[in-house]
Structure 1
Amino acid sequence: MLNSNSLRKLDMQDLLVFVAVYEQNSVTAVSEALGLSQSTVSYCLKKLRSSFADELFINTRTGGMQPTYKAGSMYPHVLNILDSINLCYAGSATFDPGLQPVTFNLCAPEYFEQLILPRLLKAFDASDLPVSINVFKLEADIPADALRDGSLDLALCFGPKFHRSHAGFHSRTLFEDDLVCVFDQRAAPPEPRLSLQTYVERRHVFPTPWTSATNMVDGWLAQQARQRQIIARANSYSAALKLITGTDYALTLPRRIQRLLASADTFHCREAPVGLPGFTLDMQWSQSADRDSANTWLREQVIRACAEQETA
């Protein structure tokens, strides 16, 4: 904030005139150097004197325009202001993924690997970019230390509030999804939406796309004072689909995963019980990474791939 309303009247030209008069001691020389009329230079000096309540420069016969004490104390600060403006214009060095090979390290669930990672890699390949992606499995907690020290560039996780929050991170929701129930086509219930009773009466296969002691389905069931029987746990969505083939087991999947992997020739989909909550896919990164041009570029590519998924 400015300490005086009169400072609002100043602009960059006024500051340039101040520096030029300080360094050249001549209105005529400043006029020529900046390509301004002498009347314009005089007008800028008038604004400066009014804004800072000081004469700033005294016109002498032998020494030209001599700075006052206040002008001398202002000079280095005005230089810093102009340098800062130039830095704002130049910005930080822009990351160019085509210059040399680069590897990004992500922590993400299988959900991201199935839906978004293929789109990312195809985009890199189409642009002939030497970009590689390493994906580490998401655990129960966000890998906060690895994000802070830079060994991980991004964390992709589920929300809202499925993982413990950490201070000092930036977060963005990429898109929303909900859950549906999948069955072998010969064992699908007739109703288009399962009742809670029908849902808990079936035996379930549970895919574990991230390591966690709890999950969004069983947490919600516990709130309803109900529980389901989990007959098997699988490490992937594809493995879980194989486990229900030829059985009457139920499998609860994100709708986007169901559309991608559960062929209608083999599986039938039913709507989940009323009230079963959906979820979001979120992206988190550290404060230091927020200012890194390479990390910024990567986040932009993830956001673009997610937008394509939304419209697919």
Structure 2
Amino acid sequence: MHSTLRRLDLNLLLVFDALFRHRSVIMAADELSMSPSACSHALSRLRDALADELFVRTGNAMQPTAQAELMADGVSDALHILSDRLIDRSPFSPATSEKTFVFAATDYTAYAVLPLLVARLERLAPHLHLKVIYATHHDSLDELREGRIHFALGVSHGKATLPEGVAACDCLSDDYVVIARKGHERIGDYLSLERYLAERHIAARPWEDASSVIDGALAQLGRQRDVAVQLPSLMAAPYIVAQSNYLFTLPRRAALEWVNTLPFIVHDVPFEAPRYTLRMLHHVRHSGAPGHRWIREQLMLALDNASSEPSDASVI
């Protein structure tokens, strides 16, 4: 059991991970505070132990082999899990910490939360690192449980029950609106349910296996909309609306950000759709960790400050 691990210096996995991310011996060595020659020697030891070249120089970059590509995610995940499990007894100092926090998010949840948080961290924790990966599910529970991420930005509708071992901070709550191109010949100042259903629609569905809350609300009325364009993310949809007669139902917060720069009109949803809550989830094993606690506090402070500032966005 673990025969490969017994003949491998596990410190070499740190070198592998840095090389895979940077594609450069010099940059990997700099991150690991070692000399480039020591980094090259470590790579040679890795190649001998794993019987594969792992990285091949192509131009100015070290490109991974097929074997390295297969290993990369597993090595990265294992290092994150080990980092989380090992106890760091040193106090967390935001001003000097170089810790990396990994978030899972969609384009919209990242857009709604991270600009506010990053602006605050830039001032208070200038050496901190954030890594954002695409959320593979609306709550990313598997990634949280396995330690592959520290935080997940997710959306819930109504009162969602959290699974055992997961805690959440509610970031913001909002409702949905409908946007239509300004000058749409069939839609005036009022959007009725019948007109809404008569038009064709754009739908943002990040996960193939997840149902749409808008389609679910319509199904309760025994109605169905005609989805002409299905997208894996939200951000392109307003630009498509501006060039077409399709309608798009989206969070009000996002619509208000775009309404002054794109030629569309914002309408209330002409049926009862649930409000949503954007939440930052984390595993309870991190609840008492000083760095994790500090990140959660900074996010809530950033959101509180933003909500207290007057908005000049208007709805046409």
Tell me the secondary structure at the aligned position of residue 148 of structure 2.
coil
Among 192, 198, 201, the residue aligned to 1:201: 198
Using the alignment, how far apart are the partners of 1:265 and 1:153 within structure 2? 35
Using the alignment, how far apart are the partners of 1:97 and 1:130 within structure 2? 8
Q: How has the CA–CA distance of structure 1 residues 165 and 139 changed in structure 2, closer, same or farther, with 3 Å as cutoff?
A: farther
The residue number in structure 1 matching 2:71 is none
Q: How has the CA–CA distance of structure 1 residues 149 and 213 changed in structure 2, closer, same or farther, with 3 Å as cutoff?
A: closer
Tell me the secondary structure at the aligned position of residue 268 of structure 1.
strand
TM-score after normalising by structure 1: 0.64
TM-score after normalising by structure 2: 0.63
Among 278, 281, 290, the residue aligned to 2:278: 281
Aligned amino acid, residue 283 of structure 1: M
- 1:142/1:164 contact within 8 Å kept: no
The residue number in structure 2 matching 1:190 is 188
Q: How has the CA–CA distance of structure 1 residues 284 and 238 changed in structure 2, closer, same or farther, with 3 Å as cutoff?
A: closer
Q: Which is worse superposed, 210-219 or 245-254?
A: 210-219
Tell me the secondary structure at the aligned position of residue 275 of structure 1.
coil
Aligned amino acid, residue 188 of structure 2: P
Q: How has the CA–CA distance of structure 1 residues 102 and 158 changed in structure 2, closer, same or farther, with 3 Å as cutoff?
A: same
The residue number in structure 1 matching 2:118 is 121
The residue number in structure 2 matching 1:230 is 227
Among 101, 107, 131, the residue aligned to 1:110: 107
Aligned amino acid, residue 148 of structure 2: S
Structure 1 residue 145 and structure 2 residue 142: aligned?
yes
Structure 1 residue 155 and structure 2 residue 168: aligned?
no
Structure 1 residue 301 and structure 2 residue 290: aligned?
no
Aligned-pair Cα RMSD in Å: 2.4
Task: Point out where structure 1 has 5 or more consecutive residues left out of the alignment.
Answer: 1-91
Q: How has the CA–CA distance of structure 1 residues 185 and 305 changed in structure 2, closer, same or farther, with 3 Å as cutoff?
A: same
Give 1 or 2 for the bigger CA radius of gyration.
Answer: 1
Aligned amino acid, residue 283 of structure 2: S
Q: CA deviation at 1:143?
A: 2.6
Tell me the secondary structure at the aligned position of residue 238 of structure 1.
coil
Tell me the secondary structure at the aligned position of residue 139 of structure 2.
coil
The residue number in structure 1 matching 2:37 is none
Task: Point out where structure 2 has 5 or more consecutive residues left out of the alignment.
Answer: 1-88, 310-316
**Deviation beyond 4 Å, 4+ runs, structure 1:** 161-165, 209-212
